[in-house]
Amino acid sequence: MKIILITGASRGIGAATALLAAEQGYAVAVNYHRNKAAADKIVSSIHDKGGKAVAIQADISREDEVVRLFEETDRLLGKLSSLVNNAGILERQMRLVEMDAARLHRVFTANITGTFLCSREAVKRMSLKYGGMGGTIVNVSSVAAKTGSPSEYIDYAASKGAIDTFTIGLSKELAEEGIRVNGVRPGFIYTDIHAAGGEPGRVDRLKSGIPLKRGGTAQEVAEAIMWLVSEKSSYSTGAFVDVSGGR
> What is the three-class DSSP state of 198?
coil
Structural domains in the chain, sorted by start: 3-243 (3.40.50.720)
The answer to whether 137 touches 119, Cβ cutoff 8 Å, is yes
Q: Give residue 193's pLDDT.
A: 67
pLDDT tops 70 at residue 129: yes
The residue among 243, 138, 244, 123 whose CA lies nearest residue 181 is 138
CA quadruple 241, 193, 57, 2: dihedral, nearest 10: -20
Written as one string, the DSSP assignment of 144-194 is HHHH--TTT-HHHHHHHHHHHHHHHHHHHHHGGGTEEEEEEEE-SB-STHH
CA distance linking residue 144 with residue 156, whole number of Å:
8
22-33 pLDDT per residue, tens: 999 999 999 999
CA distance linking residue 48 with residue 162, whole number of Å:
38
Count Cβ atoms below 10 Å from residue 129 Cβ, excluding itself. Answer: 13
Written as one string, the DSSP assignment of 51-106 is --EEEEE--TTSHHHHHHHHHHHHHHT-S--EEEE----------GGG--HHHHHH
pTM here is: 0.95
Question: For all residues of the chain together, what is the average pLDDT?
Answer: 95
134-169 pLDDT per residue, tens: 999 999 999 999 999 999 999 999 999 999 999 999
The residue among 71, 187, 186 whose CA lies nearest residue 139 is 186
Count Cβ atoms below 10 Å from residue 219 Cβ, excluding itself. Answer: 13
- 130 in active site: no
65-115 pLDDT per residue, tens: 999 999 999 999 999 999 999 999 999 999 999 999 999 999 999 999 999
Residue tagged active-site, from 26, 32, 153, 156:
156
The residue among 218, 89, 95 whose CA lies nearest residue 156 is 89
pLDDT tops 80 at residue 211: yes
Between β-strands 3-6 and 240-243, what pairing exists: parallel, antiparallel or unpaired?
Answer: unpaired
CA distance linking residue 161 with residue 151, whole number of Å:
17
